[in-house]
């Protein structure tokens, strides 16, 4: 332990000595490199701004996007909810983590757990990797860890950039729109069911009024109350254990509990069967 400290101190003392006797002055040698690099950085930033401006049209629509995106989007409107939020690219990896750790049990891992652990590891790096060796080829563990980290971050960022599946929090903001369109806004049980539907991962397989992703052959559920018409209790039983109905793809949702399943069932039964004009739905219990 003590020897290690001594070795390090000796190393740094030798470093100082070598630099003093054989180093070169910062100005002009290093400063020259720094200046060239800084000029390049400024040129790059200006170039990006110019490309952004001159390839985009002055408008807010889809077709106004240039190579680097639109000049501006439409003004924020808390009333529209069909907007898919995208953070800046350097948050894509976090964004994608949240798709891996699903609502509601493990989402904390994605939002808080993993980022915190990663950050702590990064901070603690100099105290974990305490060997004196600095040559990359002789630090196989550190180098492997670094390469794996880079690959992971790269993949997560790429997946986050191209991901289509919506996030629970994104789906949730759609619920009022669904309620208005389907006409179950007046039925609080159905609205609650819609919120559960938006959050527990149904939309990773099912689409609903254009939102969600279609996966594993799961049907669109926008009109399921009409087409399938199992009734509130029927849907609740189905969702609770789909395998009983020969559906071995869809997971069981027994754990949601009877109350939540009833809400889900009400929502499903209200989909396609309510009248948006009169705001009336079939009485709970299905037709």
Partner 1 sequence: MANKPQGRSHQLLQILLYPLNWLEERTSLPGRSGIVGGIKYFLFRKVPSDISWGHTLGSAALTAFIVQAVTGVILAMYYKPDPNSAYESIRHITDDLWAGWLVRGMHRWGASVFIILLFLHMGRVFLYGAYKYPRELNWIIGVLILVLGMMEGFFGYLLPWDQTAYWATVVGVNLQATGPFVGPFLGDVLRGGSEIGPDTLARFYSLHMLVIPGALAALIGLHLWLVVRIGVSSPPWSPTEAGRPEPGPPPAPRKGLVAPAPRNGLAAPVSRGARRR
| Partner interacting with residue 184 (select from ligand HEC, partner 1, none; CB below 5-8 Å by kind) | none
C-beta of residue 159 within 8 angstroms of C-beta of residue 248: no
Task: Measure the CA dihedral 87/93/99/102, to 10°.
Answer: -110
Binding mask 178-217 vs ligand HEC (x if CB under 6 A, - otherwise)? -------------------x--xxx-xxx--------xxx
**Residue 27 contacts partner 1 per CB under 8 A:** yes
Give the Cβ contact number of residue 172 at 10 Å.
17
Which one-letter DSSP state was computed for residue 58?
Answer: S
**Residue 158 contacts partner 1 per CB under 8 A:** no
**Residue 100 contacts partner 1 per CB under 8 A:** no
**Residue 277 contacts partner 1 per CB under 8 A:** no
Q: Name the segment binding ligand HEC (CB under 6 A); options: 83-91, 114-122, 169-177, 224-232.
A: 224-232
Closer to ligand HEC at the Cβ: 65 or 237? 237
**Residue 63 contacts partner 1 per CB under 8 A:** no
C-beta of residue 193 within 8 angstroms of C-beta of residue 224: no
70: helix, coil or strand?
coil
Identified binder of partner 1 from the candidate list 64, 65, 66, 68, rule CB under 8 A = 68
**Cα–Cα distance for residue pair 101/123, rounded to 1 Å:** 24
**Cα–Cα distance for residue pair 191/63, rounded to 1 Å:** 35
Identified binder of ligand HEC from the candidate list 218, 232, 236, 274, rule CB under 6 A = 218
């Amino acid at each position: 332990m003590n020897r290690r400290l001594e070795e390090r101190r000796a190393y740094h003392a030798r470093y100082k000595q070598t630099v003093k006797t054989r180093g070169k002055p910062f100005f002009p040698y290093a400063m020259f490199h720094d200046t060239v690099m800084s000029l390049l950085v400024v040129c790059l930033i200006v170039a990006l701004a110019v490309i952004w401006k001159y390839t985009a049209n002055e408008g807010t629509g889809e077709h106004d996007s240039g190579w680097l995106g639109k000049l501006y989007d439409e003004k924020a409107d808390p009333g529209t909810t069909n907007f898919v939020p995208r953070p800046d690219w350097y948050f894509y990896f976090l964004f994608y983590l949240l798709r891996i750790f699903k609502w509601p049990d493990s989402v904390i891992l994605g939002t808080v757990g993993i980022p915190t652990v990663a950050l702590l590891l990064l901070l603690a790096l100099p105290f974990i990797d305490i060997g004196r060796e600095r040559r990359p080829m002789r630090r196989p563990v550190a180098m492997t860890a670094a390469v794996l980290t880079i690959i992971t971050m790269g993949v997560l960022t790429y997946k986050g950039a191209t991901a289509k599946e919506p996030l629970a929090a994104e789906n949730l903001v759609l619920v009022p729109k669904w309620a208005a369109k389907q006409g179950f806004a007046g039925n609080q049980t159905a609205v609650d069911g819609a919120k559960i539907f938006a959050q527990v991962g149904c939309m990773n397989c099912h689409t609903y009024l254009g939102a969600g992703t279609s996966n594993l052959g799961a049907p669109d559920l926008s009109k399921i109350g009409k087409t399938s018409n199992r009734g509130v209790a029927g849907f609740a039983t189905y969702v609770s254990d789909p395998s009983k109905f020969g559906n071995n793809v869809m997971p069981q949702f027994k754990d949601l509990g009877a109350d939540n399943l009833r809400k889900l069932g009400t929502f499903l039964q209200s989909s396609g069967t309510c009248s948006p004009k009169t705001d009336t739905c079939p009485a709970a219990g299905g037709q």
